[in-house]
A and B are shown apart, each in its own frame.
Chain A
């Protein structure tokens, strides 16, 4: 399952927001990916997420696969995007 979301945090996915995002992703059993411009990285990897260089207003894709995929996509979307 996947969804698209526009990042609303003032700082984009910088160190702190990125850390929060990765922490949240790690709380799910399923595999989670985050992608920008067609490049997908493991959302449970802080290095991966940082390396995407996501700024405010960037559209990203969140994709999850596994047991709790729906919940994962929904909650991660809420965390970084507009309500």
Chain B
């Protein structure tokens, strides 16, 4: 039995498929007498990779289209490129690098040259070189990774780590569970596993070295446990849990469309976090009354330019109409930090999470901001839209943003375009600064929505992606819970309301505390809604209020979690 981080709940029993993508683990330096061998190694890999890409090109041409196949032509040309190949050879011959290391350095150098060209389209070709380089290195090291794109059998994926590009290509329907050597509760793989409701245990040190393909393992995403070669008894026990879990889930799904009130009648609004208009259907199916967080970033991604006002308007209107009369909270563009847009050329920063991101970018690039605000306002005529700014830290930003909103309203009025004049405005509370001075901020908004992921990371000074400190990241830390309480109390005293759209809102364990603190709205991944509604219906608001007072005085996050578990056990399953 191996212990890791319970990153996505649920249980999976299945066979291991190992995925290797760690390219940095190879010998970099060679001895002079190894030069010829490495050169041969390189040339064999280049020829082999050209053949492989040619096959891929033909297959893509047949199955998808000639246009899509052309990308591989460019890749093949790069492998035949004398400048590129000579640069690799030189790094082997003169630099005494291994073939794999030489490719890595040549790719960095070549990508660097292209990134300097004064032409956006060509700059983007730098990523083609990186792709080709990665493929070539895998070929040199004899790593076969073609298998995750089309899986024949259901598997549990075991790897040292997974990159977003790996998960994008993955055949997700066949993945029963994830078990990785690295990663924390908020790494992108945890977020993805949660949103797909695939059980995951991360940060299991040394796991991938200790299992082989087809080994039977159990992933217990509830407790953060991996069992390799389980006994019949363990399999039986986990199968029972799996059945019970499936049954509970299907019952919760049947009930999910009823409104959500606690046992003693307090109603809590349940919303969904969505990224695209298509998600709205999905949100309704799982019982969302509204959208508590519409992440507009997706409209801006995977393209070469900014979306126009009209394009944005159409998307926002679609969501508003689908959810009406339910509310839709549209968060203005939240990019920067870990989310980049190639065409905006955001500078590389030493501390991206403390850098130019979200509202800070929008207030500097008013053209982007005002286009989005206009689109949101126009869409507000077609449903119940609210607008929300991310990453506000002080009143200055808020007043500026509201000023731009007012200007957009005035402009639209002059142009004779209709919008909802009473549109509510709110901010995300995701920095300690905003939480602490929310009594000031509340004067300028109609509502707050607590983003617990960033609030936890900033309050506890923990990088969510850093495996070494990931276990310090805990939204049940008293510092975070006290900020949450403060924000809710202040908003209520001002006659306003507070929602929560961070991951904590979708965590069963946190529900009693959040309800007890008086949260008005909870927004989460649609798949979590049935489970949370089922939990909230079991809770009594009066008891939760008393309980939350106790939890707030606890010294350690673990104590709080244990208390929540006990509280929920008492309410019966």
List residues of A whose CB falls within 8 A of some B CB: 12, 14-16, 19, 22-23, 26, 41-42, 44-48, 50-53, 55
B77 near A22 with CB under 8 A, answer yes
Closest to A52 in B: B117
Of B70, B74, B83, B122, which one neighbours A53 at CB under 8 angstroms?
B122
Residues of B110-151 at the interface with A, using a CB-CB cut-off of 8 Å, are 110, 113-114, 116-119, 121-122, 125, 129
Closest to B122 in A: A50
**For the complex, would chain A's binding face be called helix, strand, loop or mixed by DSSP majority?**
helix
A19 near B73 with CB under 8 A, answer yes
- B80 CB → nearest A CB, Å: 7
B117 near A46 with CB under 8 A, answer no
A47 near B84 with CB under 8 A, answer yes
Known: A16-B74, A41-B83, A53-B122. 13 other contacts (CB 8 A): A12-B119, A15-B122, A19-B70, A22-B77, A23-B77, A44-B82, A47-B110, A47-B114, A50-B117, A50-B125, A51-B114, A51-B122, A52-B117
Residues of B136-192 at the interface with A, using a CB-CB cut-off of 8 Å, are none
B125 proximity list for chain A (CB < 8 A):
15, 50
Closest to A53 in B: B117
Proximity bits, B38-78, A CB within 8 Å = 1, else 0? 00000000000000000000000000000000100110011
A47 near B129 with CB under 8 A, answer yes
CA distance A41 to B81 in the complex (A): 12
CA distance A47 to B225 in the complex (A): 48
A51 near B82 with CB under 8 A, answer no
A19 near B117 with CB under 8 A, answer no
B122 near A46 with CB under 8 A, answer no
* Given A53-B119, A53-B122: A15 in contact with B74 (beta carbons within 8 A): yes
CA distance A51 to B83 in the complex (A): 11
Closest to A23 in B: B77
Closest to B79 in A: A46
- B97 CB → nearest A CB, Å: 19
- B563 CB → nearest A CB, Å: 59
* Given A23-B77, A45-B82, A48-B83: A14 in contact with B122 (beta carbons within 8 A): yes
- A4 CB → nearest B CB, Å: 21
Most buried by B among A15, A22, A44, A50: A50
CA distance A16 to B117 in the complex (A): 17
- A60 CB → nearest B CB, Å: 15
- A15 CB → nearest B CB, Å: 6
- A50 CB → nearest B CB, Å: 5
A46 near B110 with CB under 8 A, answer no
CA distance A54 to B84 in the complex (A): 19
A16 proximity list for chain B (CB < 8 A):
70, 74
A45 near B114 with CB under 8 A, answer no
B84 proximity list for chain A (CB < 8 A):
45, 47
B118 near A53 with CB under 8 A, answer yes
- A41 CB → nearest B CB, Å: 8
CA distance A60 to B118 in the complex (A): 17
CA distance A19 to B122 in the complex (A): 12
CA distance A15 to B126 in the complex (A): 11
Q: Which 8 A-B pairs have the closest CB atoms?
A: A45-B83, A53-B117, A46-B77, A53-B119, A45-B81, A51-B113, A48-B83, A46-B81
CA distance A28 to B524 in the complex (A): 61
CA distance A44 to B119 in the complex (A): 21
B113 near A47 with CB under 8 A, answer yes
Q: List 10 A–B pairs whose Cβ atoms lie within 8 Å, in order of A's numbering.
A: A14-B121, A15-B74, A22-B77, A44-B82, A45-B81, A45-B83, A45-B84, A47-B114, A50-B122, A51-B117
A46 proximity list for chain B (CB < 8 A):
74, 77-78, 81
Residues of B76-117 at the interface with A, using a CB-CB cut-off of 8 Å, are 77-78, 80-84, 110, 113-114, 116-117
Closest to B109 in A: A47
B118 proximity list for chain A (CB < 8 A):
53
B114 near A50 with CB under 8 A, answer yes
